[in-house]
Amino acid sequence: MAFPATHPALARALDAQGYQEPTPVQAAVLAAEPDRDLLVSAQTGSGKTVAFGLAAAPTLLGEAERFDRAAAPLALVIAPTRELALQVAREFGWLYAPAGARIATCVGGMDARAEQRTLNGGAHIVVGTPGRLRDHLERGNLDLSALKVVVLDEADEMLDMGFREDLQEILDAAPAERRTFLFSATIAREIAALARRYQRDAVRIDTIRRDESHGDIAYRAVRAAPTEIENAVVNVLRYFESPGALIFCATRERVRYLHSALRERGFAVVQLSGELSQKERSDALQALRDGHARACIATDVAARGLDLPDLGLVIHADLPAGPPALLHRSGRTGRAGRKGVSVVMVPHPKRRQAERLLQIAGVDAEWSGPPLPEEIRARDQARMLEDPILTDTPTAEDVELAQRLLADRSPEAVAAALVRLYRSRLPAPEEMLPDRGPDRGGEPRPLRPERQAQIESADGSWFRLPVGRSKNADPKWLVPLICRLGHVTKKDIGLIRIFDHETKFQIAPDAEGRFLEAVRAAADAGEIRINPSSAPGPQAPRGPRPHGKGPPGKPAPGNRGPRPPRGPRR
């Protein structure tokens, strides 16, 4: 269907942006009576910013083609986060440009004095976050006397973030004769109470289907050992190769660690967490919009309100806190008619928890192990054969250089060089433990025969680290530590034997010289010391469990023992 009749200036803006038909929330809002308050259930990515922008136009402009000179603001949009507020301001910028609107932003983390000067100069529309808006109101910088429309965007998020008092003070200061639009993903009891207090005979619009999950999002649940979640994230990123990906972690520390781990592997990633400055957050988001970064690692709080371009993949590196968090995270992809994938990482001990989470959320997920390297390489080959670089029309300069290359080299050699160049831009996939399968039980399946033979025939010189089971030694962080200190790669490391108070490992003969030189330099710099060692004897069986509690070789409950060295996280 075509767009319903809108204000002529806004109709021109929609046409210039290529809008041909409204989303469900836009159609419903435009169908409502033009002088009524609106109470709308709508998810992020449903086109709600344009919806409330269109709904406000008759009240703000009337029959006029353009706004008069800017003075006290006519419209106020309140959003929970600075990213969402700035995003709304950008949308309003193009939507109201033909009408000559002057738009001001008031958000935390930005220069308050610059905002004050903008407000003093006049604005037709103000977009901001609750805390900063309240601050300007109390200082006399924000004059609400002329307001005709107030919009609360993602009102449920603002209440969850503790902005109730700020919202109440702002709304109490606004004129009683105004239109109030309240947009929320859910109309819970607190939202309904807010609507009763501040709205008058609001039209209730619900565009969220409760009986089905988001049809544009494909859910995957990926089983992995707890120590292999990081590698599973790597392989999922490589398997899907989405232009944009959002990776959710439970804590800031996890964000920092996963950001460092992916950067070391060659991924173009940025991070978002509450500890970053506004400039750092803005730079990270701009890198994503410009295509300089392909993935963003964030906490739930930092990612609220984000609308990232070409976001085709969401990865839950840590399980969401509950079904609403799962749906809210996943809803960042599969927007505006585009398809998306949401991948939930499921450590084996949390399988039942993940199953309950998906069931309560009404999500039907496809279960599997992490993508295998051979699957990733097969996808790489298919993507390369479909790459536009092979189908674009070459320029005359391209043809001339191609002829010079073929004059001295065979077509196979040139094509092989192109393949190597293509692969060099791609981070290597990770070798993973075999998937246990849907039964979750027992030990991992046996290693493939060729891998078992490789291990049994391993040869090389032995070295020792003064870290063992008593300090929670684990190959998943020992191997990166050895690689970093010894300037070697994983393929240079042979057998690893972990004992109670030390770990012994092999280094391939052709890497031994540079390894010795590197670890000596590292020890002189104050790093953990690695020394040559004799080959270990037969491994003695582990002792009995202390007091019958806990697995062999681990501290008893209540005594977790010392933390492992932090070397691998650098």
Integer CA distances (angstroms), 450 to 221, 273, 296, 303, 446, in order: 29, 43, 37, 44, 11
Tell me: the pLDDT tens digits for 499-509? 888 999 999 88
Fold of 217-376: Rossmann fold (3.40.50)
Q: Alpha-carbon dihedral of residues 554, 566, 429, 435, nearest 10 degrees?
A: 10
So what's the pLDDT on residue 527?
80
Domains 217-376 and 450-542 share a fold: no
Burial 303-341 (b: 16+ CB within 10 A, else e): bbbbbbeebbbbbbbbbbeebebbbbbbbbbbbeeeebb
3-state SS class at 532: strand
Helices (H), 241-316: 252-264, 278-290
Give the CATH number of domain 8-206; options: 3.40.50.300, 3.40.50.720, 3.30.1490.20, 3.90.1150.10: 3.40.50.300
Nearest to 431 by CA among 366, 371, 513: 371
Question: Which ranges of the chain have pLDDT less than 70?
Answer: 1-3, 5, 43-45, 208-215, 302-307, 309, 335-337, 434, 436-459, 537-570
Residue 23 has a pLDDT of: 86
- Would you mind telling me the total number of residues written for the chain in this entry? 570
Around Cβ 510, how many Cβ atoms within 10 Å? Answer: 9
Given this model, what pLDDT does residue 309 score?
63
Is the CATH code 3.50.50.60 the one for domain 450-542?
Answer: no
Strands 103-106 and 179-184 come out as unpaired
In the prediction, which pLDDT does 459 show?
Answer: 62
The residue ranges of every structural domain in the chain are: 8-206, 217-376, 450-542
pLDDT at 439: 46
b/e code 371-381 from CB counts within 10 Å (16+ = b): bbbeebeebbe
Q: Give dist(CA 229, CA 317) in Å, integer.
A: 7
Record the pTM: 0.56
Cβ count within 10 A of residue 253: 11
